[in-house]
Amino acid sequence: MMRALVRSLLLIGSLLAFAGCEVTSLPDAAVPGEDAGSPDAGMADAGPPDASTDAGTDAGIDAGYVVPNIVIGRSLFWNDAGLLDDASTVSFAKIMGVAADDGHGGALLAQWFHRFNTTPHSERALPAQFIDAVLVAQGADPTQWDLSVLPFKVTGIHNRIDLAKLSPGGHCGELRVSVSSTDVTLQPFHALFLFRQPLEADDVEPGSGRVTCVGTARRWAELSSLDETAAMAQLRVLLARGLTHQRFLMMETVEFTLAPWEWRQWLPAADGGVENPPLFQQLDVERINRASPMRDDFLEWVDQNAAQLDARQVEFPERFRVQSVRVNQGVPRVPLNVPANPSFPMLRQKLEIVGCAACHTTDAEFVQTRTDRSVSAFYEKELAARALHLARFARGEAPGAPFGPLQMNPVLPP
Ligand code: HEC
């Protein structure tokens, strides 16, 4: 299975390599369809198609830089056991220690897992019970626990430069580590640790101050041009710089420890633990669907922003979002109830696909990176789009991206 995945990633890689050579005929195809509304979407057309001539003028660094053919398994997504099972580079224990204020992570783990059971909108006992069993096995003081013996495995490292915010004071997206429980009871349980990729000096054009993320993009792209040994060594350098406490943003979870499936985010809180904020870009479908002043407010907001929402360019205000979203297995997800808009026939689906629940269930089976480190159909296509996107960043094109899927014609919810 692993080998099949690696092979298919290599295949995508070589297709992209081909795309890289044929850049004159393909770059616009690489831009997601919904990109049109983005203020910088047109920039791809402005730059000359030959990477070797545009770098100097567009990026302002390394004149003559040639973007290597992006290999997904080198520059965007890592799922090989040699890396993920090497505790000196990454492990559940290490990531918990990095995430926690105390550098250890035991206390954070205890607080986090108990929090699953104490949020009024959702109470899930299993993570808390898991912690109670660790207490019995390892003692009452979580700061003394050996987290390395706990049943979790790292399932992937994900380069999310596509999430870059290309405005002054912006950033170059995220680096993410996914983890899965291998416990017999705490199942299925998947967590994602998000780390910011901050702007570095060479991500901003000197003089104009235009944010391009070209420096960060080239550091990732470069891994595709190195031989295996050199690439792995350089990757470890980038990971050591990237996976730090200072850059840690939050955790996300998708789990089925109790029916139905549930998605949540977990933000570091003042007390050293984590809190469960309203989910990014996830509408509170249940509440919006019921007649209320809030529903009226929502429909008016959708009406006013329909074109931008259809282009997936709008960040949803907190008042329309929900702290946890659930989907029953084997039962169709309840659709968002918005009146048909003849100008934007797929508006409802566009509002849904940017959220956790629809994106994880439309072209995926709840999980994107599985416990065996294989990936969903959705993620496979997403990686191909991210490779083209990374090449554009590395050429200095500063490509825009919509919220939600980057791939050109994502499967939309029914
Ligand atoms: C555009 C589609 C999309 C949306 C929207 C989305 N995800 Fe994901 N999710 C992914 C992909 C793809 C991955 C693989 C890692 C990556 O690409 O960042 C992933 C990975 C994860 C993982 C790690 C386990 C797994 O399934 O691979 C968790 C946990 C997760 N997402 C939670 C969330 C939560 C919570 C939200 C809503 C706030 C959310 N996701 C929104 C596509 C999406």
Tens digits of residue pLDDT in 256-267: 999 999 999 999
pLDDT tens figures, 312-334: 999 999 999 999 999 999 998 99
Quote the pLDDT of residue 275.
96
Q: Is the distance from CB of 217 to CB of 394 less than 8 angstroms?
A: yes
Question: Using CA positions, which residue lies closest to atom 40 of ligand 1?
Answer: 356
pLDDT score of 274: 97
pLDDT given for residue 63 in this prediction: 67
H helix runs in 31-69, sequence order = 43-46, 51-54
Q: Which of 252, 274, 321, 350 has most ligand 1 atoms within 8 Å of its beta carbon, as the pocket-test mutant?
A: 252
Q: Helix or strand or coil: residue 304?
A: helix
- Are residues 325 and 279 in contact, defined by beta-carbon separation less than 8 angstroms? yes
| Token pair 């206390």: residue | 107
Identify the pLDDT of residue 64.
83
Rg of the chain over all Cα atoms, to the nearest angstrom: 22
CA distances to 117, 218, 261, 382 from 214, in Å: 43, 6, 38, 21
The mean predicted confidence, pLDDT, of the chain is 88
Beta strands 189-198; 77-78: pairing state: unpaired
Side chain identity, residue 408: M
d(CA 225, CA 220): 10
Q: What pLDDT is recorded for position 163?
A: 98
In sequence order, which residues have a C-beta less than 8 Å from that of residue 83 and are 6 or more positions away? 89, 90, 157, 232, 235
**pLDDT less than 70: residues of the chain:** 1-61, 63
Through-space distance between the first and last CA atoms of the chain, rounded to whole angstroms: 30
pLDDT at 245: 98
Which three-class secondary structure state does DSSP give residue 261?
Answer: strand
Triad 336, 340, 343: Cα angle to 5°: 125
| Mutation to probe ligand 1, out of 177, 254, 316, 321 (largest number of atoms < 8 A from CB) | 254
How far is 175 from 240, CA to CA, in rounded Å? 11
Do residues 362 and 411 lie in contact, with contact meaning Cβ atoms separated by under 8 Å?
yes
Q: 178 C-alpha vs ligand 1 centroid, how far in Å?
A: 9
Closest C-alpha to ligand 1, atom 41: 356
Count other Cβ atoms within 10 Å, centred on residue 32.
25
Q: What's the pLDDT at 61?
A: 63
